[in-house]
Amino acid sequence: MMGPNNMLEIKRLNRTKIWEWVVLSLMLASPFLFAERAMMINEIAITALFAISLDLILGYSGIVSLGHAAFFGWGVYAAGIFSKLVNPDPIVGLIVVMGSSLVLGLICSLTILRGSDLTRLMVTLGVSLIGLELANQLRDLTGGADGLQGVVMAPIFGVFEFDLSAKVASIYSVLICVLVLLFVRRLVRSPFGFGLVAIRDNSLRARAVGLNVSHRLMVIYAISASLAGLSGALLAQTTGFASLDVFSFDRSADVMLMLVIGGVGWLYGGVLGAVVFKLIQSQLSSITPQYWMFWIGLFLVILVLTGRDRIKEWFAGVSA
Partner 1 sequence: MNTTQAQTSPQVVLSAKDLSKHFGGIKATQNVNLDIVHGARHALIGPNGAGKTTLINLLTGVLEPSSGRIELMGQDITNMAPDQRVQLGLVRTFQINQLFSTLTPLTTLLWVVSNKKGFGSKWWSPLGTHGAVLERCNELLEQFHLSDVSNQRVSTLSYGKQRLLEIAMSLACEPKVLLLDEPVAGVPSGERDELLQTVAQLPSDVSIVLIEHDMDLVFSFAKQMTVLVNGAVLCSGEPQDLAHDPRVREVYLGSTQIAGAEHV
- Measured from the CB atom, the residue of 97 and 198 that comes closer to partner 1 is 198
- Which of 5, 286 has the CB closer to partner 1? 5
Q: Is 208 among the residues that bind partner 1 (CB under 8 A)?
A: yes
CA of 217: how far to CAs of 108, 207, 260, in Å?
Answer: 11, 12, 22
Work out the end-to-end distance of the chain between its first and last CA atoms, rounded to an integer number of angstroms.
32
Nearer to partner 1, 84 or 207 (CB): 207
Q: Check: CB of residue 34 under 8 Å from CB of residue 174.
A: no
Of 201, 283, 297, 307, the residue at the interface with partner 1 (CB under 8 A) is 201
Give the binding-site size for partner 1 (rule: CB under 8 A).
34
d(CA 11, CA 16): 10
Taking CB under 8 A as the rule, which mask of x and - marks residues 9-28 in contact with partner 1?
xx--xx--------------
Between 141 and 187, whose beta carbon lies closer to partner 1? 187
213: contact with partner 1 by CB under 8 A: yes
Q: How far are the Cα atoms of 64, 246, 318 from residue 68, in angstroms, in the given order?
A: 10, 10, 37
Q: 3-class DSSP state for residue 242?
A: strand
Cβ atoms of residues 115 and 123 within 8 Å: yes
DSSP class of 188: H
Q: Does 212 bind partner 1 (CB under 8 A)?
A: yes
Q: Does residue 187 touch partner 1 according to CB under 8 A?
A: yes
Report if residue 189 touches partner 1, rule: CB under 8 A. yes
Give the interface segment with partner 1, choosing from 71-79, 129-137, 183-191, 299-307 (CB under 8 A).
Answer: 183-191
CB 51 within 8 A of CB 271: yes
Tally of CB atoms within 10 A around 22: 10
**Residue number, 14 or 290, with CB nearest to partner 1:** 14
Contacts with partner 1 by CB under 8 A lie at 2-3, 5-7, 9-10, 13-14, 186-187, 189-195, 197-198, 201-202, 204-213, 216, 219
